[in-house]
Structures are given as C-alpha cells and as structure tokens.
Amino acid sequence: MKKILILHGPNLNLLGLREPEIYGSLSLEKLDERLIKFGEKIGLQVSTQQSNLEGELINFLHDAVSYALGVIFNPGGYTHTSIAIRDAVAAIDLPVIEVHLSNVYARGEFRHKSMIAPVCAGKIVGFGWRSYILGLQAMSDLLASKKE
C-alpha cells in the first residue's frame, strides 16, 4: 500500500477542546482514527504525527522522504510565518497538500497569507476535519495520475 504521512502542526493536539466553534469537537486521536480508516478504504497506508515545534515538523518532513509517497500537512499557525518550514517542503521531493480545518480566508487578514502554499501541490481549506479526507482523496488521485 502507498504510504502517506499526515502531519499536524502546533496546537492541533488540543483539537476538540480548542475553540470548538472554529475547529470542531473531534479530538486529534479520533480524527487520526478516521483518517487511517479512510486511507485503508482508498488504498493508502496513513501514518500520523503532530508537533508543536517548528524544527520537529521539519524533521518529520525530511524523514518522510524515506518511507512516504506524499504528505498531507496542516502547519497550523506556522503556515503564516515559517520560511524554514516552507524551505523544508520545497526541499523534499514529495507532493505536499496543505490543509486547514477552518476557512482561513474568512478569518483575520494575517491568516490569508500562506508561506507554504506556493511550494505545495495544492491546498484545501474550510471543511473542518473533512479537509483532511479531501486531502487524502486528492493525494490518491495525484499519485494515480503520476503513473499515467
């Protein structure tokens, strides 16, 4: 099966508790369970990681090259600030899909800018936890179309 990393950035460990009116009431653990199950259904072997630390997220991206075919990445607040994470995404030879639970474009202007988006294969925002499901479906289609 094709291996995919789902990487969650800072504060996403608090999913379900953190501003549920914006991010939903599902915990990270339950979300990951759903993503692993959905992955199995569409032929992807999903592994998940979360970190609140910029350098650790970069290490997870670097390591993914040795086992994964793609990454679904919610960089959280680092989306809007981190050149180092953008450089890591650009450095690895893997398709990365940026996802966000909330519609960042309907929120404060500082969330409209993504450092990461220009080096990603694509981006999905605003569908709650289903943004990740859509990301997995998009990754599956992308990997299939690469073979054509």
Q: Which of 2, 11, 26, 127 binds ligand DQA (CB under 6 A)?
A: 11
Q: Contact between 128 and ligand DQA (CB under 6 A)?
A: no
Q: Which CB, 70 or 76, lies closer to ligand DQA? A: 76
Number of residues binding to ligand DQA, judged by CB under 6 A:
10
CA-closest candidate to residue 99, choices 71, 135, 70: 135
CA–CA gap between residue 75 and residue 91 (Å, rounded): 16
Neighbour tally for 89: CB within 10 Å? 24
Q: Which of 49, 50, 74, 114 binds ligand DQA (CB under 6 A)?
A: 74
CA-closest candidate to residue 135, choices 109, 105, 97: 97
Q: Which stretch binds ligand DQA (CB under 6 A): 49-57, 98-106, 114-122, 138-146?
A: 98-106
100 is catalytic: yes
Please name the residue ranges forming H helices in 25-129.
Answer: 28-41, 54-64, 83-91
CA–CA gap between residue 41 and residue 56 (Å, rounded): 30
Locate tokens 């409209």: which residue? 112
Q: Which stretch binds ligand DQA (CB under 6 A): 25-33, 58-66, 73-81, 82-90?
A: 73-81
Q: Which CB, 47 or 103, lies closer to ligand DQA? A: 103
**Interacting residue ranges for ligand DQA, rule: CB under 6 A:** 11, 74, 76-77, 79, 100-102, 104, 111
**Which residues participate in catalysis according to the annotation?**
23, 100
